[in-house]
Amino acid sequence: MKILVINSGSSSIKFQLIEIEGRASLGKGIVDRIGLKDGLFRFAPAGREAVERTADVADHRAGIAVVLDALTDHATGIIRDPAEIDAVGHRMVLAGPSISGPVVFDEALVRLVERHTRLAPLHNPPTLAGYRAAAEVLPAVPHVGVFDTAFYATLPARSYVYAIPYEYYERHGIRRFGFHGMSHQYVSGRAAEFLGRDPADFRCVTCHLGNGASVAGVKDGKPVYTSLGFGTVAGLMMGTRCGDVDPDVILYLVDTLKMSATEVRTLLYRNSGLKGISGISNDMRDVERAADAGNARAALALEMFAGSAARHAAAAAIGLEGRLDALVFTAGIGENSPRTREMITSKLSLLGVSVDREANAVRGAEAVVSAPGAPVPVLVIPTNEELMIALETRDAVLGGRDALARLGQAGGAPTAS
């Protein structure tokens, strides 16, 4: 069974074709800078040389057409006909608390996602645009929405209810949702497997540190803690998002500085985080370079980023009730920034966590980065949200067992290219 996984951002479409029985990536790529000048297309068929070219792509519809052309291209393609695609799995973010697993798309689901756009303004519009475009060119196959929030459907009430009057939860559905579910689910399961442990008896803290960032506590395959909240801005400081701020700051922006809701949203979602503190960039590589060159605000941004991740990792560890079997780093920064890993773990020595400088030099590969014999192993596990999405999509289309359980049976790392 071949599943096309689509992850649409505001100006990009990432795609990957996965052959589900072998958990094998047949090829993956990205249409980047959609709607902008100097658009870029990259496609890497598994085991062959990647194709890269400029591609001015007006919108997501045109982007999906480029993807299908590449997949079926007679020279560089990996399938002969779009009919070989059995289902499409779309990475989705938020459609409210009724979502507890993968859902086959229909108009009702589209409306539900639209209704929750206010809480995920950076994510819901582009993911829906990607779905609409793909459904138009592949109308005969099932399209499945796999939601970042679904992993958290089993969070206990004490972890998702806010301490505001209870009727705001009951009447208005104001609660913590949690995001990056596919990633935390994958890396926690894979970390157990990597250490030769049973995922059903394994307690870990997972740090997804990318442009968006969050920490989860995962006990026996189920989340007990998430740093993310009602929307996608809470918890850790991120690339452009502020993370936790005192609600009084927001009241001050509105009451005293007379900022509108739209202005406040833009400030908190787009102009804060690494970008807002460093004044340089939301990209960790730029911020690290600037700090090395002596820029004090860039150095402050690094300190704040590590501090917020460490605080939430400690909080997540509390949720594990007395046992921490591993601390896991993933996503762009977590996989590739030894400095950030060292800064975070150095604040967590109380938990028995530290890195070994030599082992911690690793970038983008599965590894134990703590010293041999350290009380709590620290791991780098490159995330594979696409594989989780493909497994969940298969479940939704065919019915089947829990995706994580099947991941545990896969016997080794999936063969993603």
Could you list the active site residues?
Answer: 148
Within 13 Å of residue 85, how many CA atoms lie on the same side as its CB? 29
Task: State which residue, 25 or 324, has the beta carbon closest to ligand AMP.
Answer: 25
CB neighbours of 15 closer than 8 A, spacing ≥ 6? Answer: 4, 5, 6, 7, 28, 29, 30, 31, 67
5 binds ligand AMP (CB under 6 A): no
State the nearest-atom distance from the C-beta of 384 to ligand AMP, in Å: 12
State the nearest-atom distance from the C-beta of 287 to ligand AMP, in Å: 8
283 binds ligand AMP (CB under 6 A): yes
Task: State which residue, 80 or 363, has the beta carbon closest to ligand AMP.
Answer: 363
284 binds ligand AMP (CB under 6 A): yes
Task: State which residue, 226 or 336, has the beta carbon closest to ligand AMP.
Answer: 336
Among 144, 191, 309, 333, binds ligand AMP (CB under 6 A): 333
Interface with ligand AMP in residues 229-268 (CB under 6 A): 239
State the nearest-atom distance from the C-beta of 286 to ligand AMP, in Å: 7
Piece of the chain touching ligand AMP by CB under 6 A; list 102-110, 114-122, 326-334, 366-374: 326-334
Quote the Cα angle for 144-146-148, to 5°.
165
Helices 261-270 and 247-255 sit at what angle, rounded to 10 degrees?
140
Among 25, 211, 226, 384, binds ligand AMP (CB under 6 A): 211
Interface with ligand AMP in residues 161-180 (CB under 6 A): none
Among 199, 229, 332, 382, binds ligand AMP (CB under 6 A): 332
Q: Which residue has the tokens 């927001």?
A: 250
The 8-class DSSP code of residue 5 comes to: E
Q: Which residue has the tokens 């992993």?
A: 151
Burial of 171 (0-12, 13-18, 19+ CB in 10 A): exposed
Distance from C-alpha of 92 to C-alpha of 392, rounded to nearest angstrom: 12
Note whether 172 and 205 are within 8 A (CB).
Answer: no
Q: For residue 102, which amino acid is it? A: P
285 binds ligand AMP (CB under 6 A): yes
Among 210, 229, 231, 276, binds ligand AMP (CB under 6 A): 210
Alpha helices per DSSP H over 271-318: 273-278, 284-292, 296-318
Q: Enumerate binding residues for ligand AMP (CB under 6 A).
A: 210-211, 239, 283-285, 288, 331-333, 336-337, 363
